[in-house]
Amino acid sequence: MLFFTQCFGAVLDLIHLRFQHYKAKRVFSAAGQLVCVVNPTHSLKYAPTRCAAAQASAEQGILPPCHHHEAVHDPQLVPCTCPLFSCPWEGHLEVVVSHLRQTHRINILQGAEIVFLATDMHLPAPTDWIIMHSCLGHQFLLVLRKQEKYEGHPQFFATMMLIGTPTQANNFTYRLELNRNQRRLKWEATPRSILECVDSVISDGDCLVLNTSLAQLFSDNGSLAIGIAITTSKAHSSEAEM
């Protein structure tokens, strides 16, 4: 009976996964688009990243404490950028992708256009849905966050971050698209560099922002499908042609 129960549970999980893929493909009918089902990362106690803590201290005019061992800190080292984790890791940009994949088990998809299917939208804030997107020779980090900017009023924030420098990020344009029940909503912008911190992007509101009612309008049984497309910016294309 135990063996049967475990096998039956695995079959149900497989059927549920296939059903989620079917729903996403039904919403985004473009042939050949990759679909990734993204489960939420939920934390009962939100642990702000070090870049967010440093930003808050700077806004309050409080300088971080100076320690002797920090005097030789390499300015090229990047702190872990994975939201909802208080991770002490630091490393160069070249190894950020491997850290996110190996330590935090973040999936990565390849292709110019993909579908990001976030499940369990009803979970309380703060909750994150995270995936890496590889295309045009670079890696991007898509973060969808459910967070309360005002108590009792959760909102959804979606942004694309380039795992690279701000100069490299200016060479690209990303588009997020919601499409359901004959309604379409698009957000198009230049991605921000991962060096700028996800928390600061969300606090600035420089991303796709959805209130709860709008998110429910585009969701399907608690799942939200977001079409993602990344292209080179027009300015960068013009320079390349010259």
How confident is the model at residue 92, as a pLDDT?
Answer: 84
How confident is the model at residue 202, as a pLDDT?
Answer: 87
For domain 33-42+74-232, say whether CATH 2.60.210.10 is its number: yes
How confident is the model at residue 73, as a pLDDT?
Answer: 46
How confident is the model at residue 64, as a pLDDT?
Answer: 39
Report the amino acid identity of residue 89: W
What pTM does this model have?
0.72
How confident is the model at residue 213, as a pLDDT?
Answer: 92
Mean pLDDT by 10 residues, the chain (242 residues): 53 50 47 71 51 45 38 63 72 85 84 89 90 91 90 92 94 95 93 88 91 93 93 61 40
How confident is the model at residue 154, as a pLDDT?
Answer: 93
Look at residue 5 and give its three-state secondary structure.
helix
How confident is the model at residue 46, as a pLDDT?
Answer: 46
Edge-to-edge, what's the strand order for the sheet holding 224-232? 34-38, 113-118, 224-232, 172-180, 183-189
List the structure tokens of 85.
């984790």
Q: Residue 224: in which H helix or E strand, if any?
A: strand 224-232
Q: Is the Cα dihedral 91, 202, 86, 73 positive or negative?
A: positive
Among 116, 105, 108, residue whose Cα is nearest residue 36: 116
Look at residue 177 and give its three-state secondary structure.
strand
Q: List b or e across 154-165, with b for residues whose CB sees 16 or more CB atoms inside 10 angstroms.
A: bbbbbbbbbbbe
Query: Are residues 130 and 106 in contact, defined by beta-carbon separation less than 8 angstroms?
Result: yes
